[in-house]
Amino acid sequence: AAKNAGGGRWTWFDPIMDARADTDARLGADLRQAIARDELFLLYQPIVELPTGRLAGLEALIRWRHPEHGLVSPADFIPLAERNGQIIEVGRWVLTQAMRQIAEWQREHGAAAPAKVSVNVSARQLNEPGFPEEVAALLAATGLDPARLVIEVTETAVLGTGAALEAVRRLDELGLRIALDDFGTGQSSLSLLVDTPVSWLKVDKSFVDGVTSASPHAVIVDGLIGITRGLRIQAVAEGVETAEQAERLHQAGYRFAQGYHFARPLSESDVLLLLARPSSRETRQSQLI
Ligand code: C2E
Ligand code: MG
Ligand code: MG
Ligand code: MG
């Protein structure tokens, strides 16, 4: 809904579009200062081993405590940061923070520390020239064993460009692990499972939601187990919310799962509480926050 306003200039008269552009611009300006003002922080959601209930790893999830708007969800500012390029700086901060944190937990808690940390990386980061080298430098600086780092990428991000695919291969050569996130919701291509060095396949919540009913989703959840087994990929069920789903996934052959049924994303201090427990490696639901 554009209208030629007098002086030959096109003006937008869509108030919703206008408000969105305005919010984007303001939020973007605020985000530019968020790192310096220490407003960003990470939560860590446990990934558990289904048969034993043990902690298999943690996924780092970003949060922004905005001085006026309060807690802003990544669903609201990560897409914006991807559009305006700020994801490069934000992503660098996330990687550094998560790698330092897991290295610290390992120094202080040894065998009780989480074995792995997963970090979400966006398409724009993957396509940034020199990204794998940057990860290599961070590994060297933090002294973190590369095998303890998992980079989560989406199918769409990897399929986007040859550069992204090349970056994923270089990351694999560094010795870290690649997870395909939200599997089944992007431009799913089974050839991706053959052409890329994927170690983990994270089956999206939208499929897990249907697992306890006679649904096409349940058929896909079951079918993926055969595929991942044959390809030596570990399947992780995302967004598990009920005991019934957890049981059903276990029966279907899933070894790993993540979701509110086990634990919400936890603060650094809640992770410490978890590690400090005598049965720190047992993370059955009753023991989690
Ligand atoms: P994701 O990587 O698929 O992360 C899983 C999301 O599902 C998280 O949302 C998590 O809190 C939520 N979740 C986990 N278990 C359950 C459950 O049982 N039920 C429900 N309803 N939700 C569950 P969150 O933290 O809001 O993050 C949303 C998305 O934002 C992430 O999806 C990821 O794509 C992106 N994101 C988060 N942190 C980062 C980051 O540091 N960098 C980048 N590039 N993206 C990030
Ligand atoms: Mg993820
Ligand atoms: Mg996911
Ligand atoms: Mg998801």
What per-residue confidence (pLDDT) applies to 284?
47
Pocket test for ligand 1, best of 43, 48, 59, 61 (most atoms within 8 A of CB): 61
What per-residue confidence (pLDDT) applies to 10?
56
Q: Please name the residue whose Cα sits nearest to atom 25 of ligand 1.
A: 61
Q: How far is CA 158 from CA 120, 187, 195, 204, 236, in A?
A: 13, 10, 11, 17, 19
Q: Which segments of the chain does DSSP mark as H helices, in order?
A: 15-34, 74-84, 87-109, 123-127, 131-142, 155-160, 162-173, 190-195, 205-208, 216-231, 243-252, 268-276
What per-residue confidence (pLDDT) applies to 5?
45
What per-residue confidence (pLDDT) applies to 20?
74
Average pLDDT by stretches of 10, the chain with 289 residues: 49 66 86 94 97 94 96 94 95 97 92 93 95 97 94 91 93 97 86 91 97 96 95 97 97 98 96 77 45
Quick one: which atom of ligand 1 is closest to the CA of 260?
Answer: 18
Model pTM? 0.91
* CA 58 / ligand 1 centre spacing (Å): 12
- Complex ipTM: 0.98
